[in-house]
Every structure is written in C-alpha cells, then in structure tokens.
Amino acid sequence: MSEQVSVNVPCHSPSRRSVLQSSAALLSAPFVAKATAAFGQEKLAGTGEVVVFSYGGSFTQNLRKYVSEPFTKATGIRVVDVTADFAEPQIKAMSAAKRIDWDIACVSPFWGYAEMQQAGTYMPINYSLWDSEALNGVPESARLKDAVVAFQSATLLVYDERAFPKGGPKDWADFWNIKEFRGPRGLYGGGGSTVMLFALMADGVAHKDLWPLTDDKIDRAFKKLDEIKPHITKWPVAGGEPIQLLINREFALTSAPDGRAVAAIKQGAPIRMAWDGAAVQETYWTILKGGANSANAQKFIAFVNRAEIAAAFTQGTGFPSPNVNQLKYLSADLLPLISISPDNAAKAVGLDRAWLTTKLANGKTNADHVQERWLAWQAK
C-alpha cells in the first residue's frame, strides 16, 4: 500500500474531510474481513494496482486497513491512495489536462457531478462483477449507471441529555417547542436547504410532502424560522462546533453531523441523537474514464460493496455504506447510531438531488436559489 499524493484543495464549509476524519479516528472495526483467494473469487483476481481517492487522515487509514488491504490479499491488486479535501476540483483539472491520474474518486452528487457526467467523465459500473448478496443488499437507487453510493451522511437533531433528564426532544417540532425543551439552541448556518426542511417539519409538513421546495414552502419555512431565530445563540458552520458546544453546555440542543455525534458518543459524551427528520445525503464512488487501471477499479467497487466488507467500511469510517446485508456484521452498539438501521432509515429524509441540481432560466440551480434566500434571511 502506498500514498501517491496528498493535495490541499479549497474547502466548502464545513470541510467534508474534517467531518470524516473526526469520526473515523474514534471508531474501529470489530474484525478485518477474511481475505482469502476464495473470498476474492476468480472474477476479482488480478495484477497491478488501482489508484483510489479518499479524504486522508484516519479515514484513509481505516479504509486501507479494513477495505484496501483485504482487497489486495484477496485479489492480488495493490491499492494506491490519493487524498484531498474534495475530489471534484482535481477531477476537473485532470480532465482539462487530458491526463487522468486516478482510477476511483468519491464525489458529491451536488457539486458538479451532473456537469461532469454530461462531459463523459465517468465509466459505467460493471455490476456483473458483483455477488448476489451485494446486488440484493444495495438498493437500486444507490446503483446508478456510472456511480455507486459510497456512504451516507446526515444532519440531525442532537441534544445534551443532561439538560433533559426526563427525556429529550424527539423531532423538529420539539426543537421549536421552547416551553417544554428549554435551553440555548444551534442550527447549521451554512446550508439553507436542510434548515428549510427542518422548519417545514416543525410546522407539520409530512416527509413525503417536503419536496420540491417551492417558493410558497420556502416562505412558510422562513415564517417558522422567524419564531425560533431569537432562541438560536449561534449558527455553526464548522462540522465539529455544534457537538463541542453541546459538551460544553453552551447548547442544549442543535443540528449536527451524524459522524461527529457518533464519534462523541463512542467517547462517552452525554449526548443523544434524534433521527426523526434527519436530512440524509450521499457520496458516490465513481470510476474515472481514462484512468490506467479501470478493470481493477471495477473489481474494487465490487469488493467494497460485499456485505462483510461494507460492514468493515462502516465500522471503520463511521459512515454507513449502503449494503443493508452488512447489518448482521456490525457491532450492536453502532447499529442504533447509523442511518441505514431500519428504524433510523424510516424516520430520515433524503435530499432531492434531481430538483436541487435543476437549472433555472437564469442559469442558477434550485439549490443556488434556496441558498440565496437563506443567506438574505440570515442577514436580516
């Protein structure tokens, strides 16, 4: 295993890399999947290498230990790590230079994925290499023609259990209930769309009716946000800030990234997660067209989605990969804390990628429109 390059890229806020690393550093997989030639199966055996992007730090260390090293042992294919805060700027630069140095990249469906897809950046995924347990366990919605969900992340309600000894808030209506659930509050300051969802759910909108975020729904959300704004003591944008403020008792309840919350809980922090109304988003694995090791990249993608390996990825990184068949391999203490657990999945809300990335007549996307309105409201 070798590290090819480490690149610092201008970050969005909060830094995806910092969020990922913070949780990965505090979780460890209960096993390393049995990596034998039989487990690799003849159709995944190979030679040479595959260059795989990840976010560096403990995230990459755990990906290497629990996925890449078993992959090499099972298939004979060496994994070369490349790291950066974000893959998308590097992919665009490589494409412009007509020199693709990576084989596999993690990309956000909201940050240029559609644009790069239209430009022919990604190869189709070869699902014929997948075993039946992977095909059955990974939902069809997570298996795109040219991408596969790598992991999910969520923003959800997290609270200090010390502030609510008789029972904490269960949903966003409780977050808005300042009489029964007293205390200083926080909401994520950077992302308008998710906060719109939280406000609408607090106002009684059913999960199934949240999308699309039409202007009348946005108006309704801002009216609800006007109610809670005087009780928000801070609008954090850094991924670790809301959890630290909970631990310091500067917040009693707040929105926060699930990975940060899981990491703190595993360390013994007195906080709890409320999954009702959690906003879940996904990050994709993609295979870059023009990479030198595309055949090996297909084998890596097939391998990482096997149930036992998916469980090792989830436990090692703290972010769940999509194969639900992995649940039987995960530690009992982690199951209630992740988005793919059935109880949590039933309560969560997905982001509507198609609507958010749709362009308006002015060339901006719906996501841009929502964000502009959000920033204007914050500035009042």
Q: Give me the DSSP letters along 285-299.
A: EEEBTT-TTHHHHHH
Contacts of 25 (CB under 8 A, 6+ apart): 57, 58, 263
pTM metric for this prediction: 0.84
pLDDT for residue 258 is more than 60: yes
Q: What is the pLDDT of residues 139-173, one digit of tens each?
A: 999 999 999 999 999 999 999 999 999 999 999 99
Q: What is the pLDDT of residues 95-142, one digit of tens each?
A: 999 999 999 999 999 877 888 998 999 999 999 999 999 999 999 999
- Report helix, strand or coil for 108: coil
Structure tokens at 193: 């769309």
Euclidean distance between CA atoms 14 and 258, whole angstroms = 13
Phi-psi region of 360 (alpha: psi -120 to 50; beta: other; left: phi over 0): beta
Cβ pair 309, 72 in contact under 8 A = no
Section 210-214 average pLDDT: 97
Outline where the chain has alpha helix (H): 16-24, 37-40, 57-63, 69-75, 88-97, 113-118, 132-137, 172-176, 192-202, 215-228, 241-247, 258-266, 294-304, 307-317, 342-347, 353-356, 366-378
The pLDDT score that the predictor gives to residue 7 is 30
Sign of CA dihedral 70, 71, 75, 81: negative
Euclidean distance between CA atoms 325 and 310, whole angstroms = 9
pLDDT for residue 76 is more than 70: yes
